Amino acid sequence: MKQSFKLAAAMTAFVSAGPALAADCGTSDGISIVELNWPSGAFLAQMHKIILSEGYGCDVSLVPGDTASSTASMSARGEPNINPELWVDNVRDFWDKVTESGTVYEAGKPFAQGGREGFYIPTYVAEANPELKSFEDLAEYAELFGDPSDPSKGVIYNCQPGWSCEVLVGNMYRAFGLEEEFNLFSPGSSAALEATIERSYRREQPIVTYYWEPTPLLGKFPMVSLEMPDYVEGNCNNDENCENPAKSGFPPGNVITAVTSDVKEEAPEAAAYLDAASIDNSIINEVLAWGEENNATAEETAIHFLQENLDVWKAWVPDETAEKIQSGL
Amino acid sequence: MFPDVLDERSVRMYVDNAADWMVIHWGASLEAAFQPLLHLLIAIEGFLLWMPWYVIIFLIAGLAFLATRNWKLPVGVSILMFMIGAAGYWEESNQTIALMLASTITALVVGVPVGVAMALSRPVRSIMRPLLDVMQTLPPFVYLIPGVMLLGPGKVPALLATVIYAVPPVIRLTDVGIRNVDSDVVEAVSAYGASGWQKLWHAQLPLALPTIMAGINQTMMMALSMVVIASMIGAGGLGYQVLQGIGRLEVSRGLFAGLAIVALAIIFDRIAQSYGRRLQSQLHMDEG
């Protein structure tokens, strides 16, 4: 009798201790962040997770994904709550729809100078060919960027299937009349594209490829962006079925932190932090390059950033929160 | 947790640096060494894409007829191929068929001799068995990306990866087939004064042929199953359509391309199996 009483008391204490341990920052079922599958996206996701969980006590979970899967999920189910690196111009339809219905809003800009997309050539190629300055000039250099499996033409490397840049680059390739001189090759995955670029770089061979910033690859293998005309508003380059692709540059790299509105309503302090979080491109490049050199995981890269750049992130959070985060590192 | 016995980070950096060194110093020569394979693949692909579509369907139906001597399979095969073309995947399917045929041919040329060597020699068998285990279970992406770094993206590393993945069945089944040839027959042939080579060529291989055919069949299927992974390093074909479907969240694209792969698998599987069964009946091996 006494035994079972003690047992019941112990269990009650255990059970009642439960909710106290799971104290969160206001949201009803925790905050989910999509851990994007490229270096800068993964780093931002991990950084938000550390700050929100250590500083604000939120119950944060990371969901692996990419732009396509996370935007589909956000618009259909309102989850994940945060996309730390959304290139808005690439998902115009989704963005217009969710901002109109008010389910998702733009919290802040993770990159202070925005993102950049372009066609890149290695610096050693740019130095050896000073006349090759713009994307239009490329037509005369088909021989330099020869396709190993089709020596009669050059080759331009596209981004991975499923990314909106794939359609964009395909349309630009047509619009700038490069179909006769060049093949457009899809490497199949970002890993294969990076391996291809690394291979060309190690053997000092010419290569022209789509790429974007900020990325650790551009930190490791310096490349020069080919000049492109200004962005033409209202073009259909993003559309697979575009009949008349425009000779336009890439859309301005409007990269935002996309957050579902329930976070703003239920956890206003966390939302205020997300509005403020913004890092200089040069610092991001440095941090990503560090991660690449040291074979660090995204989490280790985020911890490194928080340890080395106190003045940057302390500006985003109130002082006591900063203390909590620092002690948790 | 497990105690820290070695510094894996420096071991990993050492391996990474070794890989970089290989790319710089062996890249050009490895690329040249694989040129014949690349030419084989481009030749098959060029042939399939140049021929009019009805000739291709006729050829495949013809193969089906030769394998079964029956009208049912050729008709079924023709209908499936027609549906693949009607779905808009003709060019991609032929690219996939070319990759599958080139890898199967390469796997045969490499695999059957190795299987024979394994059957006849114990040291070869003890070396090959762990190697085959590695080839069948090591995740393909592990050697795919270094393959891209060494050989460039596209058809060559895709072909190499497909051969690595698909050759173990033909090696293992050739080994088993030869070792399971009735020992009485082998004794009788030796008693009649046959040399080792004659014994192999005239008795063991023909009698092991049904099992070897089963190995070839499995190799073809595994080569087809690698198409999606191969397209992740730029091989194109139906795998690329599946990949685009996944990436763009277009369920229909992934589904239809996937069904086209299944249709190709059914076609070639039936043809190979029927041929295997005909061989067995010709050698009277199905009479127990």
In chain A, domain spans: 24-113+253-328, 116-225
Q: What is the CA radius of gyration of chain A?
A: 23
- Which ipTM did the prediction report? 0.80
- What is the residue type of B99? L
| CB B71, CB B133: distance < 8 Å | no
Per residue in A222-257, pLDDT (tens digit) is 899 999 998 888 788 888 888 888 888 888 888 999
List the single residue in B28, B149, B240 with the smallest CB-CB distance to A198.
B149
φ, ψ dihedrals at A222, nearest 5°: -60, 130
Same fold: A24-113+253-328 with A116-225? yes
User: A203: which chain B residues are within 8 Å (Cβ-Cβ)?
Assistant: 23-24, 27-28
Closest CA to B145 of B20, B275, B47: B20
Report residue A231 CA to chain centroid gap: 21
Q: pLDDT band at B288, cuts 50/70/90? A: very low
User: A295: which chain B residues are within 8 Å (Cβ-Cβ)?
Assistant: 9, 12-13, 16
Closest CA to A39 of A208, A194, A197: A194
List the single residue in B12, B146, B231 with the smallest CB-CB distance to A188.
B231
Say if residue B187's pLDDT is above 70: yes
Q: Which of residues 104-163 of B touch A (CB under 8 A)?
A: 141, 144-146, 148-150, 152-155
Report residue B21 CA to chain centroid gap: 30
User: B152: which chain A residues are within 8 Å (Cβ-Cβ)?
Assistant: 148, 196, 199
**pLDDT of amino acid A127:** 93
Average pLDDT over residues A181-190: 90
Say if residue B154's pLDDT is above 90: no
Q: Domain A24-113+253-328 maps to which CATH number in 3.40.50.2300, 3.90.600.10, 3.40.190.10, 3.40.50.720?
A: 3.40.190.10
Q: Can you tell me which residue has the tokens 């299927």? A: B221
Q: Residues of B73-111 as b/e, b for ≥16 C-beta within 10 angstroms?
A: bbeebbebbeebbeeebbebbbbbbbbbbbbbebbbeeb
In angstroms, rounded to a whole number, what is the distance separating the alpha carbons of residues A213 and B188? Answer: 74
Chain A residues within 8 angstroms (CB to CB) of chain B: 66, 68-69, 72, 148-149, 160-163, 166, 185-189, 191-193, 195-196, 198-199, 202-203, 295
User: A72: which chain B residues are within 8 Å (Cβ-Cβ)?
Assistant: 249
**Long-range contacts from A125-129, C-beta under 8 angstroms, 24+ separation:** A125/A206, A125/A207, A125/A224, A126/A224
CATH homologous superfamily of A116-225 equals: Glycine betaine-binding periplasmic protein; domain 2 (3.40.190.100)
Question: SS in 3 state form for B144-169?
Answer: HHHHHHHHCCCHHHHHHHHHHHHHHH
**pLDDT of amino acid B119:** 92
Q: Going from the N-terminus, what domains does chain B have, and what CATH number goes with each?
A: 35-282 (1.10.3720.10)
CB contact under 8 A, A191 and B248: no
Q: Can you tell me which residue has the tokens 């490229």? A: A38
Average pLDDT over residues A266-288: 88
**pLDDT of amino acid A90:** 78
